[in-house]
Amino acid sequence: MSARQPLRRLAFAALLAATAGMAHAACSGRLYLTFDTGNMRHAELIAEILARHQARATFFVANEKTLRGDHALDQSWAPYWQARVAEGHAFGSHTWRHGSFRQDSGGQTRYRLMNGKTENLGADAICTEIRQPDTRFRELTGRPLDPLWRAPGGRTTPATLKAAQACGYRHVGWAPAGFLGDELPSETYPNQLLVDRAVGNLKDGDIVMAHLGIWSRQEPFAPALDQLLDRLQARGFCFATLAPAAGTVGR
C-alpha cells in the first residue's frame, strides 16, 4: 500500500461527509410518503417515480384483489415486493382482508368485509388479521413487516388499537394535508387541484397517504405523483420511511 492511499481514503471520506452535510442542510422539511395496496394498477409506475426521485416510502400491504385478477400478496407479486425491499422502503400491515373495523361491543369488534359480510372479532382474531400480511410478506421476500399497521379507511376502535398494540403493532394514520385524494372523483377533484393543494398545505413531519391503484377514480392520480414530488423537493422537502422506533405515528 502506498503512503498516499490512506490520505486518499481520508479525503474521500471527508468528501462523503461534506456531501451528506450539504444534503441534510438542503432538506428544510421531512415528509413520510405512504402507499396502501389498493388494486395495484399503478404499482410499477409509482415504484419508478419513487426511484427517479430517490424517495423512500412506507407501503401498507393487504391481500387485496388486483386489476390483474389475482391478489396483492399472491406469489405472482413476489418480484415486485422483493424489488421494493431491495430499494430500502419500509412496510406495514394493512390487515389481511382489508375489512373495516366498525364498533366494539361485548368484548368483540364488528368487522365489515369488502363483500359486505360482517364478522365479530375478539382480540386474538384482530391480532391474526393484522399479523397475517406480516407472515405472508416474510414468505414472499424473506423480510418481516415493520411493527406498524394502518386500518383500512383509517377506522379504528379502542379494542382494535389495544389488541394491535398487545401483539406488537402501532397504528399509523396520516396528516389532514397528507390525504392526497386519489380516491376522490376526478370530475370534481382533478389531478392538478390535488397536486396544488398538497404542495400548498403539506408541512414538516406530515404523513402522506395514497394508493397503488384505485378502482373508482377515472383519471388516475399516480401519473401526477411525478409533478408532486418535483414540487415538494423544490420546496426543500426530503422523504423518509416511518421508523418503527419513532414516537406516536400519525396525526
Identify the CATH number of the domain in which residue 178 sits. 3.20.20.370
248 neighbors 152 (Cβ within 8 angstroms): no
What pLDDT digit, counting tens, does each position of 47-76 carry? 999 999 999 999 999 999 999 999 999 999
Q: 2-6, 57-61, 212-216: which range is least confident on average?
A: 2-6
Q: Looking at residues 144-172, what average pLDDT do you find?
A: 97
Q: How many domains does the structure of the chain reveal? A: 1
Total-model pTM: 0.87
- List Cβ neighbours of 207 (8 Å cut-off, separation of 6 or more): 31, 32, 34, 172, 173, 174, 175, 178, 242, 249, 250, 251
Grid cell in block for residue 210: 395514497
Boundaries of domain holding 117: 28-239
- Examine residue 8 and state whether it is found in any structural domain, yes or no: no
- Examine residue 13 and state whether it is found in any structural domain, yes or no: no
- Examine residue 6 and state whether it is found in any structural domain, yes or no: no
97 neighbors 129 (Cβ within 8 angstroms): yes
- Examine residue 210 and state whether it is found in any structural domain, yes or no: yes
